[in-house]
């Protein structure tokens, strides 16, 4: 089985177990960018509390950009790492303003996925995962976000070189999976990672991927 066939098999086995994930309504591209910065190292609930609290106090991106940093930090503390995330959000909003004259990212739709990703990564504090999430979730562009679950599971299954960095894995994995599967694969792998293929102790006996997983094969030689 080559890697593209393996990718198709992973997608199919996960859909067989979890079904196709429903498309949740997403934020504007700038909203998705801010929300994704807030999501680092926390869960969805705390991310959303921080996001909503921030927007309740400062309802426009311009107000958030121009607010005193010390007024932003308490609003997002639920998401943790406020001292890093607050400046990262304000820097990104300032850089978008400098580049575009306004705070919007819809123009990215006119670029290739690769160009749009590079544009976002040039914003200080934005990495390939955040860029891919903005493109895939809010602009419906073909990008393959590699978060901690996707990175771990693709390594265990063996669909990417074991020592490949997460930054390189974004590009590599995007070439293995079909673009129309990026969204369901991303969400279903995250679910598998949370419920079954856990970081410390994978629950292989509950996993739909045992027949194609290198880690499982090595454990059961």
Closest separation in Å from C-beta 156 to ligand SF4 = 4
Give the count of residues interacting with ligand SF4 (CB under 6 A).
14
Closest separation in Å from C-beta 46 to ligand SF4 = 26
Nearer to ligand SF4, 10 or 72 (CB): 10
Phi, psi of 154 (to 5 degrees): -65, -30
Nearer to ligand SF4, 46 or 210 (CB): 210
Half-sphere exposure (Cβ direction) of 105: Cα atoms closer than 13 Å = 26
Closest separation in Å from C-beta 206 to ligand SF4 = 7
Polymer length of the chain: 221
State the Cα angle at 51 between 106 and 99, rounded to 5°: 35
Q: In angstroms, rounded to a whole number, what is the distance separating the alpha carbons of residues 138 and 192?
A: 23
For residue 40, what is the DSSP state?
Answer: T
For residue 20, what is the DSSP state?
Answer: P
Nearer to ligand SF4, 141 or 157 (CB): 157
- Of 124, 131, 119, 139, which is closest to residue 171 (Cα–Cα)? 131
Nearer to ligand SF4, 167 or 203 (CB): 203
Q: What is the C-alpha R_g of the chain?
A: 18
Closest separation in Å from C-beta 196 to ligand SF4 = 5
Q: Of 77, 129, 168, 198, which is the active-site residue?
A: 129
- Of 157, 155, 146, 159, which is closest to residue 209 (Cα–Cα)? 157
Q: Is 17 a catalytic residue?
A: no
Restricted to residues 23-52, the positions that interact with ligand SF4 (CB under 6 A) are none
Restricted to residues 142-201, the positions that interact with ligand SF4 (CB under 6 A) are 153, 156-157, 196-197
Q: Give the interface with ligand SF4 as residue ranges (CB under 6 A).
A: 153, 156-157, 196-197, 202-204, 207, 209-210, 213, 215-216
Residues with a catalytic annotation lie at 129
């Amino acid at each position: 089985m080559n890697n593209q066939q393996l990718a198709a098999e992973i997608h199919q086995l996960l859909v067989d177990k979890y079904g196709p994930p429903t498309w949740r309504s997403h934020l504007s591209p700038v909203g998705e960018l801010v929300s994704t910065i807030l999501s680092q190292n926390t869960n969805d609930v705390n991310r959303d509390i921080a996001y909503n609290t921030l927007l309740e106090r400062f309802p426009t991106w311009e107000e958030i950009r121009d607010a005193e940093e010390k007024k932003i930090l308490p609003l997002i503390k639920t998401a943790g790492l406020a001292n890093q995330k607050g400046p990262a959000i304000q820097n990104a909003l300032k850089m978008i303003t400098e580049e575009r004259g306004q705070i919007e990212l819809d123009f990215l739709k006119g670029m290739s996925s690769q160009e749009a990703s590079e544009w976002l990564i040039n914003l200080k504090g934005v990495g390939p995962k955040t860029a891919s999430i903005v493109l895939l979730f809010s602009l419906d562009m073909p990008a393959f976000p590699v978060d901690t679950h996707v990175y771990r599971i693709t390594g265990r299954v063996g669909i990417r070189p074991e020592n490949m960095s997460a930054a390189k894995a974004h590009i590599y994995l995007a070439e293995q999976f079909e673009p129309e599967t990026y969204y369901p694969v991303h969400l279903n792998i995250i679910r598998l990672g949370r419920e079954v293929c856990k970081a410390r102790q994978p629950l292989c006996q509950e996993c739909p991927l045992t027949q194609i997983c290198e880690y499982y094969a090595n454990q059961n030689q």
